Chain A
Amino acid sequence: MRATGAGGPNPLVKFASQLWGSIFRHGLPSTDKVAARTALTNFFLHIHPVRVKKSAIRVSYTLCLGGLSFFLFILLTISGLFLMFYYIPSVDQAYQNIKDLQFVETFGLVTRNLHRWAAHGMVITVWLHMARVFYQGSYKPPREFNWAIGSILLVVTLLLSFSGYLLPWDQLAVWAITVGTNMAKYAPIAGPYTRYVMLGGRTVGQGALIRFYVLHVVALPLIGFILMVIHFWRVRKDGFTGGL
């Protein structure tokens, strides 16, 4: 059955325009009103405020440190996903997998290095972001709650960094985690239990590797992601002042 109707628009064109219109609800933001509606109805744009003072988005005020941290988080998620194709969290294979990534697999070296340097970078940018917020007093009301969320995000970042440290399963990794978990053991009362539950045993072995792996690739990123969503939402809701 031919679907071309005389007089009406070509159904194919109609379908295409319907499809386009269902995704992009508004045309180019020619007026303030259209721009506002675009920002409100688009998932990717809704994170932005509909209107913002030019002074509030001055890069020299925030140095975009939070944005950089989030960018690195995305970079880490993607590069980490690729690393997972080759990495097996087993004491017999983990080190060899890392070696293969470095010397054998196509783009393995760049993927691993991206992950490694982005991880170092994220720890740095998160700290600097916190320092920026602190020195500019951006933690003060009404933003106290976001400061608290941010503090937890800092801890999540550090735990991600710590748990990723063990995964290459080389001498540095094993002894660094031995030292790190022994530090946890010094805590009063809960110390020895904390170490046992972290390692899943008494020594850094297979039990510890799988625990750190699960924490590193699932638990901590998930907690971090949920907190980040709340963090960004609150940034939006608490408003921008910027460079008063």
Chain B
Amino acid sequence: MGLNPYDTPRGRLHRLADISRRQFLLFMGILAALAASLFGGIKTLGFLFPNANLEEPLAFTVDVEPDAITVGNPLQITEKRVSIIRDDSGYYAVYLVCTHLGCTPNYVTNVTNGTGVADDVAKERGARQAAEQIPNGWACPCHGSRYYIDSTNFYGPAPRPMDWVDVQYSPSGKLAVDRGKLVVQRGAGVTTKPEWRLDPKTKKDNGKTLP
């Protein structure tokens, strides 16, 4: 029995590479075809992702006069999924998209009802003294999450507070909301009361965005 001179690690590698020119070209051709198909296939998937759609713009102007929104009487724009709240410091707008699974929470004046949370806790979330506040907030109709009026979640499956969106005075003196621009976005467990406000006197926001 003679030794096989190729039967070494290096020899085996040589034997693998020992293919004819025709085989090599066939192999490279198949490889190129596969790569092209893969690339084309992935690109073709792009068809399913629309680049344009008929969804309404994220920015809109509020019909209601700003002064008609008073402390303790937030404006609910359910179709646009925005609530505009006024307190002693100014206006802010909450984007009414439940952080659990995306339903639209309803405005309620007794948000703590049945949750075991004291009214006072909800009242302190308002800007005035607790005694003057009502325990208002939002309750989600889908799975029962509750939010204080500053959009902090405190009950139910919602993992984090609802976001605040930009609201400014439009040139016509009305309020313009831009749902594409988040001014306050808080993560899970953050209960800080945001200080962002649109000041009705200076007609400007105070720039105190979160985070």
Contacts and interface: CB of A to CB of B under 8 A. Distances in A.
Interface stretch (B4-12, B46-54, B131-139): B46-54
Contacts of B54: 205-207
A178 B49 contact: no
Contacts of A182: 100-102
Contacts of A207: 50, 53-55
Secondary structure dominating the interface of A: helix
A197 B48 CA distance: 6
B53 to A, nearest CB: 4
A178 B101 contact: yes
A196 interface: yes
Contacts of B100: 182
A91 B101 CA distance: 22
B48 A178 contact: no
Nearest to B49: A197
Interface of A: 175, 178-179, 182-183, 193, 196-197, 200-203, 205-207
A195 B102 CA distance: 12
Contacts of A175: 103, 141-142
B53 A201 contact: yes
Given A178-B103, A179-B101, A200 B142 contact: no
A202 B55 contact: yes
A180 to B, nearest CB: 8
A108 B125 CA distance: 53
Contacts of A201: 50, 53, 55
**Which size class do B's interface residues fall under?**
10 to 19
Most B-side CB within 10 Å, residue of A178, A205, A206: A178
A182 B48 CA distance: 18
Nearest to A195: B102
Contacts of B101: 178-179, 182-183
A207 B55 CA distance: 9
A196 to B, nearest CB: 6
Nearest to B99: A182
Contacts of B49: 193, 196-197
Contacts of B142: 175, 179
Interface string B48-91: 11100111000000000000000000000000000000000000
A197 B49 CA distance: 6
Interface in B4-60: 48-50, 53-55
A183 B103 CA distance: 12
Which 7 A-B pairs rank lowest in CB-CB distance, beginning with the nearest?
A182-B101, A179-B101, A182-B102, A201-B53, A178-B102, A197-B48, A201-B55
B149 to A, nearest CB: 23
A193 B50 CA distance: 11
26 contacts: A175-B103, A175-B141, A175-B142, A178-B101, A178-B102, A178-B103, A179-B101, A179-B102, A179-B103, A179-B142, A182-B100, A182-B101, A182-B102, A183-B101, A196-B49, A197-B48, A197-B49, A200-B53, A201-B50, A201-B55, A202-B55, A203-B55, A205-B54, A205-B55, A207-B53, A207-B54
A203 B50 CA distance: 13
A168 B210 CA distance: 40
Nearest to A91: B54
Contacts of B53: 200-201, 205, 207
Nearest to B53: A201
A175 B106 CA distance: 14
Nearest to B48: A197
Given A205-B55, A206-B54, 16 more contacts: A175-B141, A175-B142, A178-B101, A178-B102, A179-B103, A179-B142, A182-B100, A183-B101, A193-B49, A200-B50, A201-B53, A202-B55, A203-B55, A205-B53, A207-B53, A207-B55
Nearest to A186: B101
Interface in B143-160: none
A179 B103 CA distance: 7
Contacts of A197: 48-49
Contacts of A193: 49
A119 to B, nearest CB: 22
Contacts of A179: 101-103, 142
